[in-house]
Structure 1
Amino acid sequence: MTSQTDPRQLELLDAILPHVAFDGWTDDAFRAAVGDSDLTADEARAACPRGAVDLAILFHKEGDRAMVAALEAADLGDMRFRDRVAHAIRLRLDAVDDKEAVRRGSVLFALPHMAPEGSKLIWGTADAIWTALGDQSDDVNWYTKRATLSAVYASVVLYWLGDDSLDGQATSAFIDRRIDNVMQFEKFKASVNANPFTKPFASVLGQLTSRITAPGAPPSDLPGSWRTPR
């Protein structure tokens, strides 16, 4: 538990998980969780104004926190960087104690009005991985790294949910293939920049994107900004 996490929310999260498998992340499951907790209905609603939705979000974020803690404790010194990313994804899956809760969460966040929230959570996982691995990019690469990893992680989760192989071996191989795809794309970008026919166009694009800054980078702390050329 972190200092930012409301202990009432954690109590409700523990209480709702047994009900999620049957009722999903729904009001029925939330009411059952309140009944199983030491909180009154008013206290529970104050802690989670959106009910089960807030707990589904907390469930995902707790998984991210567990992954970051495992990454910080891991010895990554002898790993290639691509292997570190793959290892981080595996640790994120290992952080899940209740696979059915993830399945039900995928259904919840696939709803049209919840899709932006689901995308934000996946982006947050990608950001947590890159940050834990020491990413220091402060330009457009900050966005492209997280966008690419978000797509990889989303596809991995969908594959993992349907994987019944021994010890998740099929998912592990799938992760390696997806990381290989990303590395091939990076090699393609490098070839475009080096090719004498495409280099001028890549240079112009690079000049434009070089003005984009990451969140929190100078000159402001807004969610991304545009550098004014001098």
Structure 2
Amino acid sequence: MMQAPIDPMLDQMLDAALPHVAFDGWSQATFDAAVADAGLDPAHARAICPRGAVDLAIAYHRRGDALMVAALGAADLRDMRFRDKVAHAIRLRLQAITDKEAVRRGTTLFALPHMAPDGAKLIWGTADAIWTALGDTSLDVNWYTKRLTLSGVYSAVVLFWLGDDSLDAQATDAFIDRRIDDVMRFEKLKADARANPLTRPFATALGRLTAHVKAPARMQDPDLPGVWRNP
């Protein structure tokens, strides 16, 4: 997924907002305090963040994605199994979080019915960033299923991590491994279905139904991790 660089003024507002998020959440009060603390013109700040603190919460999530991608690029993954690469990417994404309470408040914000589409898009974007950084070359329906599955895994990991008070988040590490193992078992079941003479016809029929599904063309808009190119 293409990550657009954060506007320096947006970055400045985000840094100024974080100390207030623990007390006021991603709210109008936090946005106003961030603008004042950063010494910015309110009209200009509103032009950068039309939805106020919501846009700051989105920027905070995307900053974490960018830090994770950079850390993955610098990591030596050559001796890792692929499942371990995915688990490592998830751990790096958690390590990129500088303020646990900001994530907790963001989870509450994006759980609201009218904010759920934004929250789903952010989680999808994280999954897409991980797969892309790991060199995924899928061009068919697998492009979608990989990201859908990882979105579910990452969402579950974040919720578990928010309540984890174990030493050095050891319980979260174990939880990540269990979720990745679940995914691997699911992939094995799919492979077995294609190999088993009894289930092969159903797997083949499903393959034919999804054969026309193609991965979306890569575009430059960071808001759209998966889109179709106009003909």
TM-score, length basis structure 1: 0.93
Residue among 211, 223, 227 paired with 1:223: 227
- Give the letter aligned to residue 30 of structure 1: F
Structure 1 CA distance, aligned partners of 2:6 and 2:165? 33
Residue 37 of structure 2: aligned partner = 36
Structure 2 CA distance, aligned partners of 1:224 and 1:41? 36
- Give the letter aligned to residue 35 of structure 1: A
The structure, 1 or 2, with the larger RCO (C-alpha pairs under 8 Å, 6+ apart) is: 2
Residue 138 of structure 1: aligned partner = 139
- Give the letter aligned to residue 54 of structure 2: V
Residue 208 of structure 2: aligned partner = 207
Q: Deviations over 1:98-120 (max 9, x none)?
A: 00000000000000000010000
1:38 shift after superposition: 2.1
Structure 1 residues 32-41 or 89-98, which shifts more?
A: 32-41
- Give the letter aligned to residue 227 of structure 2: P
Structure 1 CA distance, aligned partners of 2:109 and 2:164? 20
1:210 shift after superposition: 1.4
1:192 shift after superposition: 0.7
Residue 22 of structure 1: aligned partner = 23
Residue 114 of structure 1: aligned partner = 115
1:155 shift after superposition: 0.1
Structure 1 CA distance, aligned partners of 2:63 and 2:103? 12
Dislocated runs of 4+, deviation >6 Å:
none
1:176/1:3 Cα in 2 relative to 1: closer, same or farther (>3 Å)? Answer: closer
Residue 69 of structure 1: aligned partner = 70
Structure 2 gaps, min length 5? 219-225
Q: Deviations over 1:56-80 (max 9, x none)?
A: 0000000000000000000000000
Q: Deviations over 1:199-224 (max 9, x none)?
A: 0111111012111001107xxxx825
Residue 228 of structure 1: aligned partner = none
Residue 196 of structure 1: aligned partner = 197
Structure 2 CA distance, aligned partners of 1:4 and 1:181? 35
- Correspondence 1:75-114 to 2 at 5 A: 75-114=76-115
Structure 2 CA distance, aligned partners of 1:4 and 1:16? 19
Structure 1 residues 63-72 or 35-44, which shifts more?
A: 35-44
SS at match of 2:50: coil
1:161 has 2:162 as partner: yes
TM-score, length basis structure 2: 0.93
Residue 55 of structure 2: aligned partner = 54
Structure 2 CA distance, aligned partners of 1:160 and 1:68? 20
1:81 shift after superposition: 0.2
Structure 1 gaps, min length 5? 226-230
Structure 1 CA distance, aligned partners of 2:62 and 2:124? 11
Residue 10 of structure 1: aligned partner = 11
Contact 1:16–1:33 under 8 Å retained in 2: yes
Structure 1 CA distance, aligned partners of 2:41 and 2:58? 21
